[in-house]
Amino acid sequence: MSEENEKSFEVSAEHKAEEYDASQIQILEGLEAVRKRPGMYIGSTAAAGLHHMVYEIVDNGVDEALAGFCDEITVTFNEDGSCTVSDNGRGIPVDIQKKAGKSALEVVYTILHAGGKFGNGGYKVSGGLHGVGASVVNALSEWLEVTVKRGGHVYRQRYERGKVMYPVKQIGDCDESEHGTSVTFKPDAEIFETVDFDYRTIETRLRETAFLTKGIRIHLIDNREEKHDKVFHYEGGIKEFVTYLNKANLPLYEDVIYCEGEKNGIYVEISMQHTDAYTENIYTFVNNINTPEGGTHLTGFKNALTKTFNDYARANKLLKDSEDNLTGEDIREGLTAIISVKIEDPQFEGQTKMKLGTSEAGPAVSQVLSEQLTYFLEQNPAAAKVMCEKSILAQRARAAARKARELTRRKSVLEGAGLPGKLADCTEKDPERCEIFIVEGDSALGPAKNCRNPRYQAVMPLRGKVLNVEKARLDRIYANKEIQGMITAFGTGIHDDFDISKLRYNKIVIMTDADVDGAHIATLMLTFLYRFMPELIKQGHVYLAQPPLFYIRKNKKLYYAYNDEERDRLLEQVGKDADVQRFKGLGEMEDQELSETTMDPETRTLLRVNMPEDSKSELDLTFTTLMGDQVEPRRQFIEENAKYVTNLDV
Ligand code: 0RA
């Protein structure tokens, strides 16, 4: 040991104040590490990371609710860009922690991973990316202020970029009956690429949290420019979640099936209901955290559902002795289900740690479901009957689809490469450099062919309306010529056969007119891609062409505007007496116009289609709402979202 080190050791051992300073330095080093590598702690410094800050603090309140001490959480976006999260829990303890020599409250906000150290009891909402602790939020905030009401007093502490501004102080008194924690933090613009909370993203997540935490009341207030004030409170919990998700479809029976129980220390809740839809929408959660990759709880659910249902169907002669068992896939057609488990120390696996590995969760879910589903089926023979009928239809359609698929496979072997006849392909062989334009109707095909660069740009027309895959069974989908054409042209195959390495074009561009019909066709296309080749969207291969909405002519010069604001700005620039013409269909455009505005990479505008990562259930709901058969939810959705699609309202 060097002399210097020895000295400093002696000094700090003797003087308490300096010991405090030393621990202070350690803490700063800890929080400094968070500021140096924020991504490692919060996942990203983009919008997703910013929103994680809110979830982190909210989840602490939800933990308090799960422990039975809190039933209300309020989240407020303040005008100054800060966010306040308050709860009516016990209030974070403020007394001095012996080991740390400072207030427990300060420990929670300044020491990494101090979050779980209290032994709050009950299950913790933590795991995956969450549960990083309040100290991480503190480190990544320009400032953070926490106020605690507890034991008749009000306490406060403030931090700036993680630094303690003063020891926890008592700032006043309150009634003994009042208790809770309120945190206000302003995300640091030096850290985050954006510090603008997206209301809709947070709203979706808080709604989900409220569904998953039966009885909790989550109040969301936006006091920024665009005001919002909403309360999420569901006495029915995940049962109401299923009703919410099924609002755009027709349920096949009235009740949402609900099962609940605890097995070997694992608390299991399941809710489910079939609709007339053809897709299967199952969402799984562990301690309120979404597990998009499933895991043992999902496997347990699927196994038990298949077995229980087949056993019931046989015992009640819904399936004849001569008939095959129904497969899991057939039984799950049109099923919406939520599986929520609470485990004390969940194990996550998979690349993104989004898959539950705890093996005991499988049998726990299986047992709860088998017992209670059997009971439900016995009590509701009419519901059991429609479920069975639906599954049998699904089974037949699947057999037909398999045949159709085998037929197309054989055909493509016989006919060589088997590219669709209407595809005007490009000559370049490296997919990385290739693009395909899917154009609406034959009238646009000619100009698109003229304007393209045939070396790397392919063009394929779609005739008539694209099949709505939300309303069709697999056999009809496979039999559809337009869809077959797209599948063959893209080269990747679909479902189990999907292989992105076989993709023949780096960019798939949906090119439709800038009017309502065009928007509808683009939506149908996107629905197909979302349901059958979601990886193409996830990996950023799907684009929407943006033909201009306005042509502005002045002094023999032509300008394009893609929305109202651009038109107004251009008119400011070139003078109000310019000639303004509203959009033209793709088919009426001059070659040069089409090329400049929509196809030529040097000058065109393309919109890349993104897939929001955070809520699969909300995204699924968007597609079923837009494409399902219930008119009212669709009308409502369009009304609520109309302001986001101003460039479609021709
Ligand atoms: C551990 C113990 C106690 C309260 C909490 C944690 C607590 C933490 C948070 C985080 C946000 N809101 C919270 N509310 C409470 C209190 C233990 C006791 O009173 O005996």
Contact between 274 and 465 (Cβ < 8 Å): no
Task: Convert the pLDDT of each residue in 234-262 to its tens digit.
Answer: 999 999 999 999 999 999 999 999 999 99
Q: Whole-angstrom Cα distance, residue 623 to residue 544?
A: 17
Residue 253 CB-half CA count within 13 A: 22
Task: Convert the pLDDT of each residue in 601-635 to its tens digit.
Answer: 998 888 899 887 678 898 899 888 888 878 888 88
Strand, coil or helix: 86? strand
Task: Please indicate whether residue 111 or residue 21 has the higher confidence score (pLDDT).
Answer: 111
Give the residue numbers marked as catalytic: 440, 513, 515, 517
Q: What is the per-residue pLDDT for 582?
A: 84
Task: Convert the pLDDT of each residue in 534-572 to its tens digit.
Answer: 999 999 999 999 888 888 999 888 888 888 888 999 999
> Which residue type is seen at 113?
H
Q: Whole-angstrom Cα distance, residue 143 to residue 444?
A: 56
Residue 335 CB-half CA count within 13 A: 25
Q: Whole-angstrom Cα distance, residue 212 to residue 320?
A: 39
- 315: tokens are 């015992």
Please give the model's pTM, rounded to 2 decimal places. 0.83
Backbone phi, then psi, for 516, in 5-degree steps? Answer: -60, -40
> Residue 650 — very low, low, confident or very high, per pLDDT cuts 50/70/90?
very low
Per-position b or e across 407-438, b if 16+ CB within 10 A of its CB: ebeeeeeeeeeebeebbbbbebeebeebbbbb
The mean pLDDT value for 264-269 works out to 96
Please name the residue whose Cα sits nearest to atom 9 of ligand 1: 92
Q: Whole-angstrom Cα distance, residue 257 to residue 380?
A: 10
Of 141-145, 423-427, 560-564, 605-609, the least confident = 560-564
Strand, coil or helix: 249? coil
Average pLDDT of every residue of the chain: 88
Q: Which bin fits 353, alpha (ψ -120 to 50), beta or left (φ > 0)?
A: left
Please name the residue whose Cα sits nearest to atom 4 of ligand 1: 92
Q: What is the per-residue pLDDT for 646?
A: 37
Q: Which residues line ligand 1 (CB under 6 A)?
A: 60-61, 64, 87, 89-93, 118, 120, 181
Q: Is the predicted pLDDT of residue 132 greater than 60, yes or no?
A: yes
CA–centroid distance, residue 288 to ligand 1 (Å): 19
Q: Is the predicted pLDDT of residue 120 greater than 70, yes or no?
A: no
CA–centroid distance, residue 109 to ligand 1 (Å): 13
Task: Convert the pLDDT of each residue in 272-325 to its tens digit.
Answer: 999 999 999 999 999 998 999 999 999 999 999 999 999 999 999 999 889 899
CA–centroid distance, residue 105 to ligand 1 (Å): 9
- 343: tokens are 């485990």
Please name the residue whose Cα sits nearest to atom 19 of ligand 1: 90
- 395: tokens are 């089974």
Q: Whole-angstrom Cα distance, residue 42 to residue 371?
A: 40
Task: Please indicate whether residue 373 or residue 481 has the higher confidence score (pLDDT).
Answer: 373
Length of the chain: 650
> Residue 155 — very low, low, confident or very high, per pLDDT cuts 50/70/90?
very high
**DSSP conformational letter for 118:** G
Please name the residue whose Cα sits nearest to atom 5 of ligand 1: 92
> Which residue type is seen at 645?
V
CA–centroid distance, residue 130 to ligand 1 (Å): 18
